[in-house]
Each structure stands twice: as C-alpha cells, then as structure tokens.
Chains A and B, each alone.
Chain A
Amino acid sequence: MPAAAPLALEATALAKRYAGTTALGDVDLRVTTGSVHGLLGPNGAGKTTLLRLIFGLAHPDAGTMTLFGRPVTAGRTDPQLGGFVEAPQFYPHLSGRRNLEMLSAYDHRSDPAHLETLLEQVGLAQRAGDRVAGYSLGMRQRLGIAAALLRRPRLLVLDEPSNGLDPAGIRDLRTLTGELAADGLTILLSSHRMDEVEAVCDAVTILHRGAVAYAGTVDALRAQAPAPEYRLHTADDAAAVATARAHKAVTVEWYLTGGLLVRAQQSDLDGYVVNLGRDGIAVQALHRSTSALEQMFFRLTKADGQTRGAVDAQARQEAAVG
C-alpha cells in the first residue's frame, strides 16, 4: 500500500467517556482510500463507541476527525459515509422495501432501480414486500447492507456484518465486500473475529480497552505473530513428545483432553511430521486450532484476562468441533 495514498478517514486523539468510564481514550484511526480496513477488538474494547463517533451519532469529548479531508461534525452523518453500527434496525411494521424507500427519501434520493438492484444483490428481492417484523436476524443484516449502499457511500462502515448470517451468507458477504472493494469503495469492517478480518482486510486497527493496541497492515501483523497452534493426534503421543526434543523450533504440550498441542511455524512443523513418520509414529490427525494472527490478537488483548479466556475457550471449542 503506498504511503502517500490519501486518507478516507483520519481520526486523531479521539476520546469519549460515558458516566465516568472511559470508552475511548486517545484513539487514532487512519483508513487509506480504497482499502478494506479491519477494526478488531474483543467485546467492550470501544469499537462501537468509535463507530458512533464516526457516524456523528455521539459527541466526542476530545479529538478530531476528517472524512476525505472534510471535518466530521457531531450530530450529523457525512453524506460520503454509509453503513451501520451494531445490529441494523428497521421499522418492524413496514416492509423491507418501504423501509429502504423511506431511508432513500431521508437521503433526498430517489432511485428505484438502484434500490431493486441492491435488494437483488443482498438476496432479499423475494421477501422485500414482507414486513420487517418477520425477518430473521440474517435478513435484517442483509437489509442493513442494502440500506448502507443505498446512498452510494465512498466509505462503507460495517459493524459485525456476519452476525446472524449462515455460512452461505458469510460467503456471499465476503464475495460482496470483495466486489465492492474492487470497485474502489473504502470499507471499514468492525469485528471481534480475527479470521473474518484476515479473510478480507488489508490493514487492521486493534482496539483494547479503549486504546489502540495495534495499527498497521495485516501482513506486518502476521510477520510479528508467534507460531500458530496445531492439534496433533498420533498412534503414540508419548513417543511423539520425545521426537519433538530434536526440534528446537517446535514446542509440544499435552492437552488435558487428549492429543498434543504443537506450536510451530509451517516449515518446522513439516520437518517434525516427517520425523514422526521416520520414527514409526503414525499421524492420525493434525489441524490448526489457532492461526498466527489469532495468536497475535490474543497476545495484544491479553491483559483483559476474562475476555481472553472466553474468546480463547471459544476458539478452542470451535477448533475442536471443526
């Protein structure tokens, strides 16, 4: 990414307190035009507060923001900005289409063809005439994306967009964000999941307890990352641990629930697995439980023991299921 690329969003020293607690303290955020930027952090890290400030929904206590060079005023949303904060919400007694028509009117726009295209694009064309009250969480999420794109923004802000989407929905969403990014749209994607950010983002800002824990490209983050974690099952785990002693770059621990936890970079892991075979130890299963970036994310947000534990446990559980 060229360093001189103009900034779509530049926030400097933003701070926001709610009833004595600091939601955000001295946060900088730089989103390059044309990039897909991840905003990552555990729940309660300040992502939502930051997004509310960007949308002008809340008034910052300190700091400045510019959007494509123009200062952001609290109390109104810049016309170049589209998206949603937290779960998108609509009027339940109006249909999906009527909701979009209303938002379109509130934007002083009227482009029925564009509206229908968007409904088609998010897969809601069939159900657009139904009242939103009958929509599933995933359908509301799709409607939220359509509503965000309605005003043809230059910066699209999505807050946990894959919430409530089934795997097929998540795949469609990734395809859509990819297409939008390819068309030159700048995207700020907020998420608590590293894998989601890793899949679509060029750069990432990691928030932790209202402060920036990391800001930079995903590649740079990956370079700093510790070895990924793998789960290994062999015919003879004790022998496999003994074999590991010959590999300095590989650490092996016992899982309480059975199997081995292996930390190693890919090339070292390859060498270890070859040696296992050479020693006559059959490898029954080997899969990655935590990616390098996830490891990095956990490390950056580690101070928050409770959250880390929860996320960690969740990650392991998902790995075990998968």
Chain B
Amino acid sequence: MSTWTVYRWEMEKLAALLRVRLAAGACFVAPFGFAVALRLQDAVPADTLFGEWVHLSGFATPMVLLVFTSQWALPLIACLVAGDIFAAEDRYGTWKTILTRAASRTSIFWGKSLAAMTYSVLMVALLALGGLSAGELLIGHQPLIGLSGTLIPPGQAAGLVLASWGVAVLPTLGFTAMGLLFSIATRNGPAGILTPTVIGLLMQLLALISGADLVRRVLLTTPYNAWFGFVRADRYYGPLLWGTVVSAGYVIGCLALGYLLMRRRDIDAG
C-alpha cells in the first residue's frame, strides 16, 4: 500500500525529469534514424548478426539494433534512472523530507526500485517498437533469414523480434538493480549511472578474452545473447533458462545489498 504510493509519486517525478523525457524520445526516434542510415548506404554492417540482411528484410533492423544496444547502451539507459534515483535524494537533501513521514524506508526502497524497473522495461519496449516500426516502414516486412539459414515468415519474425527484445529485459533489469545498488552505495548520481555501465563493458571484454565457460555464464552480459537459441528453425532454450537464473541472481543480490545499506544508513547530511 505504502510502496504503491511511493511508486506512483516516483513515476510522476521521473516523468517530470528532462533526462527521462529525452531518453524516452531517443529510444523511439533513434531506431528511425538508424533505419534511414541503413537505407541510404550500400554497405551493410556485415560483421554483426543480421547485418547482412538489413536491406533484404525490415525485421533485420530491430535485430541489429538489439545486437548494437545490448553491448553497452542498454545498461547505460537503464542506469540513467536507476543510478540516480536514490542519489537524487542526497543531491536535493530530501532524504529527511521523505523519511520523516509515515512511509517506511522499506516502502520507499521498493517504490523507488519498482519505478526504476518500470522505466527500464519501458525504454526497452520503446526501442523494440521503434526498431520494429522503423524497419517495417522504411525497409519492409520481407521474411527474415534466421540464424540457422532458414526463412522466417513475416508474422513469426515480428513475434521473434519482440521475444528477443523481451529477453533483453532480463539482464537490463539486472543492470537496473546494479544501478540502484550503486546509487545507494555511492550517494552520487554520476557514479551510480556510470559504474554499472563500465562494469557492463568490462564484462563484455572479459567474455571476449576468457575462454572459460563458467566465467561467461556468470556474466550479466551473457543473457543478452539468449535469443540466439530461438531465432532459428531448431530451437534451444538452455541459454534462456540460465540467463533468467543469472539475471534474477543479479537482481536479487543487488537489491538485497542495497536494501541492507539503506536500512542501516544514518541520514547525517542534507
């Protein structure tokens, strides 16, 4: 009940932020710019999955966009809100203002966390829908060649594109939770936003240099690849299942630690 009240107000405060409005606009509009750029040039981003087919099928646009953004943009977009949502109270000096009310620290923690998660899911959804409609409008809805070399009919391709982006929500929530943790731990917005983004980049790098499967499996960036298993004829869901477990592990771990820090904290400044 109390959590719901905090959540509603956090959503209103987020909607009033210029940063959030710009991010939301960019997430929907940027895919169109991307599709226009792809259309205008003859060369294709052939070294990227689906890059070869950007002129052949509009469904390749949101897929290439997914490959590109999951490298670093999704963690950054997620932490743009999550990394600052607690630290903002330190910046405004408003911890004492809200913590001297009936709403408990627990409900403020959950209200804020849920608001940041909602924002992250919305941004991924905007990117997915933006990419899908940009590809559809500017290139067309031809069948897509899947990862096993088979043609996927348009209706199914649209579903798979959305499912792939849906899978990207899982690690993005993991990065959101990481942003929330660093927001609480550092009490500093830029640190809360940038630290998880840098961790994401380091994870990408570690996945490239380390051949060990166990390392790759515990990295939060790996679940972004879980869709490899189902955008094809002979599907496998192992990476998706494991990716869900890993993402949930990061979400639970970061939130638990953040919650403890917030509960124990003395509001001794501001």
Verify whether A and B have any Cβ pair under 8 Å: yes
Residue pair B102, A88 in contact (C-beta under 8 Å): no
Q: Which residue of A lies closest to B103 (CB)?
A: A106
Question: How distant is the Cα of A96 from the Cα of B98 in the complex, in angstroms?
Answer: 15
Interface centre among B2, B100, B264, B268 (most CB of A within 10 A): B100
Query: Among residues 239 to 270 in chain B, which have CB atoms less than 8 Å away from a CB atom of chain A?
Result: 263-264, 266-268, 270
**A-side interface residues, number (CB < 8 Å):** 34
Q: How far is the CA of A89 from the CA of B9 in the complex (A)?
A: 17
Interface on chain A toward B: helix, strand, loop, or mixed SS? loop
Shortest beta-carbon distance from B10 to chain A in Å: 10
**Measured CA separation A108–B3 after assembly (Å):** 11
In contact, B5 and A89 (Cβ under 8 angstroms): no
From B8, B92, B102, B268, give the contact of A89 (CB < 8 A). B92
Size of B's binding interface in residues, CB under 8 A:
29
Can you list, as one digit per residue, whether each of A62-100 has a CB less than 8 Å from chain B (1) or not (0)? Answer: 000000000000011101011111111111111000000
> Total number of A-B contacts with CB less than 8 angstroms?
90
- Taken residue by residue from 1 to 28, chain B's Cβ proximity to chain A (1 for < 8 Å, 0 otherwise) reads as 1100110110001001100000000000
- The answer for the CA separation of A75 and B99 in the assembled complex, in Å, is 8
Among the listed A55, A59, A87, A102, which residue makes an inter-chain contact with B100, where contact means beta carbons less than 8 Å apart?
Answer: A55
User: Contact at B268–A52, with CB atoms within 8 Å?
Assistant: yes
A58 touches B96 (CB 8 A): no
* Complex CA distance for A240 and B96, rounded to whole angstroms: 56
CB distance from B254 to the nearest CB of A (A): 21
B17, A89: Cβ atoms under 8 Å? no
| A107 near B102: Cβ-Cβ < 8 Å | yes
Q: Which residue of A lies closest to B16 (CB)?
A: A93
Inter-subunit contact A76/B266 (CB<8 Å) = no
In contact, B266 and A77 (Cβ under 8 angstroms) = no
A57-B96 contact, Cβ under 8 Å, with A93-B17, A106-B103: yes
**B5 contacts A106, C-beta separation under 8 Å:** yes
Asked if B148 is at the interface (CB within 8 A of a chain A CB), the reply is no
Contacts of B270 in A (CB 8 A): 86, 89
Known: A91-B13, A92-B92. A58 touches B98 (CB 8 A): no
* Structural contact, A107 and B101, CB atoms closer than 8 A: yes
Give every chain A residue within 8 A of B1 (Cβ-Cβ): 108
**Residue A105 at the B interface, CB < 8 A?**
yes
**B102 and A108 contact, CB distance less than 8 A:** yes
27 A-B pairs in the complex with CB atoms less than 8 angstroms apart? A52-B96, A52-B266, A57-B95, A57-B100, A57-B266, A57-B267, A76-B105, A77-B100, A82-B100, A84-B97, A85-B100, A86-B93, A87-B93, A89-B93, A89-B96, A90-B97, A91-B13, A92-B92, A93-B13, A102-B9, A103-B101, A106-B2, A106-B102, A107-B101, A107-B102, A107-B103, A108-B2
Give residues in B with beta carbon < 8 Å to A. Answer: 1-2, 5-6, 8-9, 13, 16-17, 92-105, 263-264, 266-268, 270
Interface residues of A (CB under 8 A from B): 18, 49, 52, 55-59, 75-77, 79, 81-94, 102-103, 105-108, 147, 151
